[in-house]
Structure 1
Amino acid sequence: MAVEYKDYYKLLGVERSASADQISRAYKKLARQYHPDLNPGNKQAEEKFKEINEAYEVLKDPEKRRLYDQLGPNWQHGQNFQGAPGFENMHFSFNGQGFDGAGFSDFFETLFGGARSARGGRNNAGFGADPFGGFSARPRRGRDVEAELSLSLEDVARGGKRSVTIQTTGGPKTLEVNVPAGIREGAKLRLAGQGGDMPGGTPGDLFLRVRYLPHAHFRVDGDNLQSDIWLAPWEAVLGARVPVRTLDGEVELTIPPGTSSGRKFRLRGKGLGSAAARGDLLARVMIRVPEQINETERALWERLAESSSFSARQHRS
């Protein structure tokens, strides 16, 4: 099967003459954009994330970049590499899954070598490639553990460090986790080495799945939030300035005269999401009438009803 050439410079969006600093900045920007924690369940983002990691693994290293540049698109007609120095025991983690060679493309493995068995297939038996040509057993690893991390919408909007207490065989253990601002519900946070123990080996990882706690004022719609504004009938007719609750505190909203129930006002940047791309708050107008009125109020309402030409059921064009 033909192995397709991959242009690592194009994947990172940089020129072939780009400096190491430019490559690093481009990689960090793309990694944030396609990180699986911010794109749960998005297979295209997952593949893109793996591609940019593969490109960065090569271009960040001067020697590997030099070898890659030497071969270029005609790499299949060049030297026969059996494995570049430093790639023999490569292992990286992606969204809780380990990749030992299999996490990279066939082009990468053909060019730089990978964990292969004596028969030429991928080695999936839990062994790592030995730089001297053989295979060495990796330490056994404990099982990964998954738990739920419940967050209020205020915590999601702010992000930052949170303390989490989990139950272990040795009793409760409190850990500190850094929550990215705007993290999506269902995303997983990985705490390396905090999973199941393995005597004589290495512990597994702990994955915290994010769950949003119900909120008394807001409903979640992706990165947007929805809420209700309650108006008295005269505020809707005459207009008003009313306080509106947001995750960042109260703001004042101007209600224009003649506002009907159900109309929505968009407060930009008051929703969820990262600081650079935060969603909006959609505030829906709801008109509330008094359940009980006195005789004076009743007379005024009756007078208004008699003198007004307005019909709520009349068709509006």
Structure 2
Amino acid sequence: MKFKDYYETLGVKRDATQDEIKNAYRKLARKFHPDVSKEADAEARFKEMGEAYKVLKDPEKRASYDQLGANWQNGQDFQPPPNGDAGFEFRGRGDHPGFGEGSDFGDYFEQMFGHQSGWGHSRGRAMHAQGEDHHAKVQIDLEDAYNGAERSISLRMPVVDENGHVITRDRTLSVTIPKGIRAGQTLRLAGQGGPGIGEGKAGDLYLEITFRPHPRYRVDGRDVYLDLPLAPWEAALGANVTVPTPAGSVELTIPANSSSGRKLRLKGKGIPGKEAGDLYVVLNIALPPATSEEAKAAYRTLQQAFDFNPRAAL
């Protein structure tokens, strides 16, 4: 997928006000509408403008687009990063199924944020109304899910300032991370959403949990995976090794004649819960480098000692 510069499409500057974006779109729409335009590429241009306006007219989508597209040039290959909306706080939205092949950049934002209730839209004309619910995606450490934690979380909320520019305002919340929480689960913070109207109660803030990428572990639901390097002799002869887990180190027996890719299961050592997950240790045989004459001689001895062809099955 190619990155599209929506500001260039509408012919406006990146610091354009919301009114300037609206006026630019209306002017171009009149010029390139397929029913009236004589331009050969009118239909394609009209579609491109509609896609750009769909994102830039919405302050929330525009703020995230500005963040995601900050380091991209028009026409470059673009892959939306995972958790691209992490740390942003938005008004009520539906489920976002994720980015899939065949979608354009505008579709990606529709999927990320769902169907918005509309910027500044109230829940009716009553004098008293409950505030809108807000949603945000936040990242925590895997260890927080094992132990529980108290964390300060910073969120950015896009707003339109008095001059019509989209800006982000930061807010910091103290959040209790319960032990055993999984990626995809949601924490509800009562009264932390949009303010109510009149005597209406404030809305709630829903925090969707994701895990920060870990240098050591991979997570699948409640199960956790660890790649464990082994020396060839440990794999061949068997060994007792110390294995790190997010809950502390454990001793693991490596069976003799183990091969790379073999999985050893540590039952109940995954993310805690009523039904705790498991931790899978994936064996990975690491070869010592042959950087000295002694090391090379040792490998030649192995070569002579074994009648072994690793490609015999090919």
TM-score bucket of the superposed structures, by smaller chain: 0.5 to 0.7
Q: Tell me how far 1:216 sits from its aligned partner.
A: 0.8
Aligned to 1:151: 140
Aligned to 1:232: 231
Structure 2 distance, partners of 1:248, 1:184, is 15
Aligned to 1:178: 176
Structure 2 distance, partners of 1:252, 1:209, is 35
With structure 1 as the length reference, what TM-score do the two structures score? 0.52
* Offset from partner CA, 1:60-91 (integer Å, 9 cap, x none): xxxxxxxxxxxxxxxxxxxxxxxxxxxxxxxx
Structure 1 distance, partners of 2:196, 2:298, is 79
Amino acid at match of 2:295: E
- The structure with the larger Rg is 1
Aligned to 1:139: 128
Structure 2 distance, partners of 1:299, 1:174, is 61
Q: How does 1:153-302 map to 2 (within 5 A)?
A: 153-167=142-156, 172-201=170-199, 202-274=201-273, 276-302=274-300
- Judging changes above 3 Å, is the alpha-carbon distance between structure 1 residues 144 and 299 closer, same or farther for their aligned structure 2 residues? same
Q: Tell me how far 1:165 sits from its aligned partner.
A: 3.3
Amino acid at match of 1:157: Y
Q: Tell me how far 1:279 sits from its aligned partner.
A: 0.5
Q: How does 1:91-170 map to 2 (within 5 A)?
A: 139-167=128-156
Q: Tell me how far 1:174 sits from its aligned partner.
A: 3.4
Structure 1 distance, partners of 2:156, 2:227, is 40
Q: CA RMSD in A?
A: 2.9
* Offset from partner CA, 1:171-201 (integer Å, 9 cap, x none): 6543332222222222221111111113423
Q: Secondary structure at the match of 1:282?
A: strand
Note the residue ranges of structure 2 that are not aligned, 5 or more in a row. 1-91, 94-122, 160-167
Q: Tell me how far 1:227 sits from its aligned partner.
A: 1.3
Aligned to 1:22: none
- Judging changes above 3 Å, is the alpha-carbon distance between structure 1 residues 300 and 175 closer, same or farther for their aligned structure 2 residues? closer
Q: Secondary structure at the match of 1:236?
A: helix
Q: Secondary structure at the match of 2:244?
A: strand
- Judging changes above 3 Å, is the alpha-carbon distance between structure 1 residues 264 and 193 closer, same or farther for their aligned structure 2 residues? same
Aligned to 2:307: 309
- Judging changes above 3 Å, is the alpha-carbon distance between structure 1 residues 261 and 167 closer, same or farther for their aligned structure 2 residues? closer
* Offset from partner CA, 1:237-268 (integer Å, 9 cap, x none): 12222221100122221112211111111011
- Count of aligned positions: 183
Structure 2 distance, partners of 1:210, 1:273, is 16
Amino acid at match of 2:184: G
Structure 1 distance, partners of 2:292, 2:149, is 52
Q: Tell me how far 1:213 sits from its aligned partner.
A: 0.9
Q: Secondary structure at the match of 2:183?
A: coil
Q: Tell me how far 1:139 sits from its aligned partner.
A: 3.4
Q: Tell me how far 1:313 sits from its aligned partner.
A: 3.8
Structure 1 distance, partners of 2:235, 2:192, is 56
Q: Tell me how far 1:286 sits from its aligned partner.
A: 0.7
Higher RCO, 1 vs 2 (CA within 8 Å, ≥6 residues apart) = 2
Q: How does 1:13-92 map to 2 (within 5 A)?
A: none
- Judging changes above 3 Å, is the alpha-carbon distance between structure 1 residues 306 and 172 closer, same or farther for their aligned structure 2 residues? closer
Identity %: 43
Structure 2 distance, partners of 1:147, 1:290, is 47
Q: Secondary structure at the match of 1:249?
A: coil
Q: Tell me how far 1:207 sits from its aligned partner.
A: 1.0
